[in-house]
């Protein structure tokens, strides 16, 4: 920063202006979100994701070396747990509408604290599978309730931008937690692994307490009398509350399906890219770590910017379309790394990851906007529960799909995956126009 002549002539031993109690330094305050609610949520998110990053870093070794599970046992247990997560999302969302998102979220996060700590006391494989299923169910349920909470506490025109800020905080927290996990991996003892798992459980306790201190919502989205009509949930009051309105909303279900297909990108990054680099290219193995660094830095730098202008549904659909086309391009570029010299293959693979990361921030912004917009201002728990179930399904099926149908068929597999992702992005526009026609019919009725 440049200084004026008067500033540059000040004695080097001059004392800085003291910081008043209760006030943050100006430089730090400028970096914080201006909305106090988002700042509170960001603090909660940071605590949660640091614990998650720590736990995720050591989970595989904890389960295999401390609990003594084989790779096949772990894979089956995680698949069963993923299925439970898909099933739990919808009822958790409905519960958030009925009893309030904050109350339900506090209960689920508290249950997750107990379940995570329970891993330290598991001594049999059936007990592990049962506990993993329970933890996955409350985890995906809490995700649905959390998204409904954002709809309750954030104004409609700032929800997507707020979620983008929280996603940046999520990536920062995961990075910090992963750094702590690297220390645990280096120490490589049973006591350290147990400490890491229990530290994650403690982080859930802290999150539950912080959520409990959030200001109560006086006018929840589910009961807003000023809501804009936007779907079956908005028509007829009690009629919209019988059953699950999201499951009767054809356009919303189509958007959920398309976003779930676009969500396969996470399996590509976490499973497909590492397997491709190690098994099918001459790129150095460190390229795998480099791909994660590229993705994390790009999400942190671009996610907030990518949400600008996506509040309107047609703009959100365009963002998803661009995401699908970019994902298709990234698949083709990653496939090109096959057969190239080592350093060239690494550069090409990282370029593909960069394209995918750009698509990720666009697709996430568009998906968030549509998941809220198509729900109107009522029944956000029901809608977020269904939308979150689609995301959970992609997370469950994605790794197996990518590792077999894509990696197993080489460049041709990447080309087919790219075509599927492009088709999902291109189909988002017609799905949103379908929702517009549905809304017009409801307003005319």
pLDDT at 236: 38
Q: Is residue 107 domain-shared with residue 190, that is, in the same domain?
A: yes
* Predicted local distance difference test score (pLDDT) of residue 187: 86
Q: What pLDDT band is residue 411 in, cutting at 50, 70 and 90?
A: very high
The verdict on residue 242 lying in a domain is yes
Select from 214, 248, 280 the last residue of a domain: 214
Choice between 394 and 157, residue whose per-residue pLDDT is larger = 394
In a domain, 408, yes or no: yes
Mean pLDDT of 322-340: 96
Pair (173, 53) in one structural domain: yes
**Do the domain assignments include residue 223?**
no
pLDDT bucket at 196, cuts 50 / 70 / 90:
very high
Tell me which residue of 145, 161, 9, 47 sits closest to 88, measured CA to CA: 145
pLDDT at residue number 30? 52
Same-domain check for residues 367 and 404: yes
Give yes or no: residues 171 and 301 share one domain.
Answer: no
What domain range is 146 assigned to? 36-214
Q: Is the pLDDT of residue 285 over 70?
A: yes
- Domain of 185, CATH number, reads 1.20.1250.20
Identify the pLDDT of residue 28: 43
Pick the range with the lowest mean pLDDT from 27-41, 88-102, 309-323, 425-439. Answer: 27-41
Mean pLDDT lowest for which of 147-156, 221-230, 312-321? Answer: 221-230
Same-domain pairing of 206 and 266: no
Predicted confidence at residue 390, as pLDDT, reads 93
334 and 197 belong to one structural domain = no
Same domain assignment for residues 323 and 358: yes
Q: What is the pLDDT of residue 316?
A: 94
Ramachandran bin of 280, using left for φ above 0, alpha for ψ from -120 to 50, beta for the remaining angles? alpha
pLDDT at position 242 is: 64
Domains contained in the chain, number: 2
Helix, strand, coil shares, percent, the chain, to 5:
80, 0, 20
Q: To the nearest whole percent, how much of the chain has pLDDT over 70?
A: 86
Domain shared by 284 and 320, yes or no: yes
Residue 221 domain flag: no
pLDDT at 226: 32
- Is-contact 303 167, C-beta < 8 A? yes
CA atoms within 13 A on the CB side of 311: 11
Position 237 pLDDT exceeds 70: no
Q: Is residue 10 a part of any domain in this protein?
A: no
Backbone φ/ψ region at 283: left (φ over 0), alpha (ψ -120 to 50), beta: beta
pLDDT of residue 184: 87
**289 and 395 inside one domain:** yes
In a domain, 78, yes or no: yes
Cα–Cα distance measured from residue 186 to residue 316, given in angstroms and rounded to the nearest whole number: 44
- One domain for residues 122 and 247: no
Q: What pLDDT was estimated at residue 72? A: 83
Helices (H), 14-155: 26-31, 36-61, 71-99, 101-118, 125-153
Q: What is the pLDDT of residue 86?
A: 92
Identify the band that residue 230 occupies on the pLDDT scale cut at 50, 70 and 90: very low
Q: What is the pLDDT of residue 1?
A: 41
The answer to whether residue 14 sits within a structural domain is no
Q: What Å distances lie between residue 42 and 37, 38, 48, 213, 298, CA to CA?
A: 8, 6, 10, 14, 19
CA distances from 12 to 5, 168, 205 (A): 14, 37, 46
- Does residue 9 fall inside a structural domain? no
Lowest-pLDDT range, 216-230, 295-309, 372-386? 216-230
20 vs 268, residue with greater confidence: 268
Q: How confident is the model at residue 78 (pLDDT cuts 50, 70, 90)?
A: confident
Confidence band for 31, pLDDT divided at 50, 70 and 90: low
Domain check: are 394 and 255 in the same one? Answer: yes
Residue with the larger pLDDT of the pair 309 and 162: 162
Which range is least confidently modeled, 228-242, 245-259, 274-288, 371-385?
Answer: 228-242
pLDDT score of 421 more than 60: yes
| pLDDT score at 10 | 37
Q: Could you tell me if 421 and 331 are in contact, meaning their C-beta atoms sit under 8 angstroms apart?
A: yes
- Asked whether residue 126 carries a pLDDT value surpassing 80, the answer given is yes
In this prediction, residue 173 carries a pLDDT of 92
> Which DSSP symbol is given to 70?
-
CB neighbours (10 Å) of residue 347? Answer: 15
pLDDT surpasses 90 at 4: no
Q: What is the average pLDDT across 374-388?
A: 87
Please check whether residues 256 and 341 belong to one and the same domain: yes
CA distance linking residue 381 with residue 217, whole number of Å: 14
- Domain boundary, last residue among 180, 214, 248: 214
Q: Give the pLDDT band of residue 7 (cuts 50, 70, 90).
A: very low
Give me the mean pLDDT over the 78-92 stretch.
92
């Amino acid at each position: 920063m440049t200084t004026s002549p008067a500033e540059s002539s000040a004695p080097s031993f001059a004392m800085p202006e003291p910081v008043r109690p209760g006030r943050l330094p100006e430089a730090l305050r400028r970096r914080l979100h201006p909305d106090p609610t988002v700042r509170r949520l960001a603090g909660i998110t940071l605590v949660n994701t640091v614990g998650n990053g720590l736990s995720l870093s050591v989970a595989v070794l904890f389960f295999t070396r401390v609990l003594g599970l084989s790779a096949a046992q772990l894979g089956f247990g995680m698949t069963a747990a993923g299925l439970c997560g898909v099933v739990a999302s919808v009822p958790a969302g409905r519960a958030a509408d009925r009893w309030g998102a904050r109350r339900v979220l506090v209960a689920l996060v508290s249950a997750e604290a107990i379940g995570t700590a329970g891993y330290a006391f598991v001594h049999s494989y059936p007990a592990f599978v049962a506990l993993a299923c329970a933890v996955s169910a409350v985890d995906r349920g809490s995700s649905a309730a959390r998204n409904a909470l954002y709809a309750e506490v954030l104004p409609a025109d700032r929800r997507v931008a707020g979620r983008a800020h929280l996603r940046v905080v999520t990536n920062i927290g995961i990075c910090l937690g992963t750094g702590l996990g690297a220390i645990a991996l280096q120490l490589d003892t049973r006591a350290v692994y147990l400490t890491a798992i229990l530290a994650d459980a403690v982080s859930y306790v802290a999150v539950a307490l912080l959520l409990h201190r959030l200001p109560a919502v006086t006018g929840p989205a589910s009961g807003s009398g000023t809501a804009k009509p936007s779907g079956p949930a908005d028509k007829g009051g009690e009629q919209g509350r019988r059953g699950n309105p999201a499951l009767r909303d054809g356009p919303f279900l189509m958007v959920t399906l398309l976003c779930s297909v676009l969500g396969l990108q996470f399996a590509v990054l976490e499973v497909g890219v590492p397997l491709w680099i190690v098994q099918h290219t001459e790129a150095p193995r460190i390229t795998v770590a480099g791909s994660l660094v590229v993705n994390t830095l790009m999400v942190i730098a671009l996610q907030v910017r990518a949400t600008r202008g996506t509040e309107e549904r047609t703009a959100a659909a365009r963002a998803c379309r661009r995401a699908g086309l970019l994902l298709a391009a990234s698949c083709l570029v990653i496939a090109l790394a096959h057969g190239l010299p080592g350093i060239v293959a690494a550069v090409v693979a990282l370029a593909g990851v960069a394209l995918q990361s750009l698509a990720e921030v666009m697709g996430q912004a568009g998906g968030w906007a549509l998941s809220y917009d198509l729900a109107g201002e009522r029944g956000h728990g029901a809608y977020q529960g269904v939308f979150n179930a689609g995301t959970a399904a992609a997370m469950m099926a994605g790794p197996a799909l990518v590792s077999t149908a894509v990696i197993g068929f080489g460049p041709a597999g990447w080309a087919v995956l790219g075509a599927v992702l492009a088709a999902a992005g291109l189909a988002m526009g017609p799905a949103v126009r379908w929702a517009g026609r549905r809304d017009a019919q409801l307003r005319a009725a």
